A and B are shown apart, each in its own frame.
Chain A
Amino acid sequence: MTMVIISCLLIGIFLGYFLGMPLNGLTDYVITFCLLILLFSVGIDLGSNKESFRDIKNNGLKLFIVPIGTILGTAIGCIGTSLILKMPLKESLAVGAGFGWYSLSGVLIAQMYSVELGMVAFLSNVIREIIALISIPFISKRVGALEAIGIAGATAMDTLLPVIVKSNTPDVVIYSFVSGVFLTLLVPILVPVILSL
């Protein structure tokens, strides 16, 4: 899937570069329309997974250590970035708030803020997923399962779930899933809110 997305991006860039005609406003409508359908569809997936709602009831607040820690830790990382690179805090926070969901955060930011920052968000969240893919087995063994789940961010519920399960005992699935669902729900809320600050 990642390969499909990256090839689509490259094809799009290629077409835009060589055709290069301004499609005043049209791309904006296409993006809005597709995002609405996509988010509705992702919402259906989230809602249909009743097990995760039941797990939240049974396990209580313990499950929220991972997503809350991920949000705080990511925010700290973004504050650090804006200090080091002298980047506006709002921009780095918006990029970080993609929590690894690169397709959505890149598109959202490109549409609402600037194409340039959208590109940063896309790349940054792809890199987050790659770091997660490489480091989860190691972090699970040396540091802990919950820390490893946090690295995966929003993708802990789908793309990276198999990696997390393989590197840990099966009982961490609940943590991974709930954290992924919670962060996935937050991305389309947090990114626009941060950008409108």
Chain B
Amino acid sequence: MNILKFISHNSMYFYIVFMLFGALVGYYEKVPVSIKRHNAKLQTLCLVVLILTIGFEIGSNGEVLLALRAIGLKAAVISLLSVLGTVLCINITIGVFSKKGMKNS
């Protein structure tokens, strides 16, 4: 249990390391066939368990359910402004680069 506790308290480092390790293993083609064949299923399974667990936490947490309206507003504004900002930033960057002769395909 202590190892589990250590890992979940320092989870951010482990997440990054695991992902990079996976990328290295994938790049050098050292993936065991059994994992490679079922990789997509493995992802779906993890995702389903994760989302169920998070749902459980949300459902058993009364404060979140009460704050649903505020949560929705924050979520909508963040995504709308992010999309606008993204379009503007890329547009401006392309404008700057195209003066140097780069084409926007």
**What is the interface of chain A, defined by CB distance below 8 A to chain B?**
1, 4-5, 8-23, 27-32, 34-50, 53, 62, 65-66, 68-70, 72-78, 80-81, 84-85, 87, 92, 95-96, 103, 106-108, 110-112, 115-116, 118-125, 127-128, 131-132, 135, 139, 143-147, 150-151, 153, 169, 171-172, 175, 185, 188-189, 192-193, 196
When A and B form their complex, what is the total count of cross-chain residue pairs whose Cβ atoms lie within 8 Å?
309
Residues of A within 8 A of B55 (CB): 8-16
A44-B36, A124-B75 are known contacts. Are A32 and B11 too (CB-CB below 8 A)? yes
5 A-B residue pairs with Cβ-Cβ distance under 8 Å, sorted by A, are: A38-B43, A41-B43, A70-B86, A77-B81, A192-B11
Given that A10-B55, A12-B56, A16-B58 are contacting pairs, would A147 and B79 also be in contact in the complex, using a CB cutoff of 8 Å? no
Tell me which residues across on chain A come within 8 A of B33, comparing CB atoms: none
Does B51 lie within 8 Å of A12, measured CB to CB?
Answer: yes
> Are B82's CB and A78's CB within 8 A?
yes
Q: When chains A and B are docked, how far (Å) is the Cα of A40 from the Cα of B15?
A: 8
Q: Contacts A69-B89, A112-B12, A144-B91 hold; do A43 and B79 have CB atoms under 8 A apart?
A: no
Q: Kindly list chain A residues whose C-beta atoms are within 8 Å of the C-beta of B14.
A: 32, 36
Most central of B14, B19, B91 by chain A CB within 10 Å: B19
Contact B75 A127 (CB under 8 A): yes
State the CA gap A8–B105 with chains docked (Å).
40
Query: How would residues 20 to 40 of chain B score, 1 for a CB under 8 Å from any chain A CB and 0 otherwise?
Result: 111111111101000110010
Task: State which size class the interface on B falls in.
Answer: 35 or more
Determine whether the beta carbon of A96 is less than 8 Å from that of B89: no
Indicate if the CB atoms of A44 and B23 lie closer than 8 Å: yes
B20 near A41 with CB under 8 A, answer no
Q: For residue B8, which residues in chain A have a CB less than 8 angstroms away from its CB? A: 28-29, 31-32
Partner of A196, one of B12, B31, B88, B97: B12
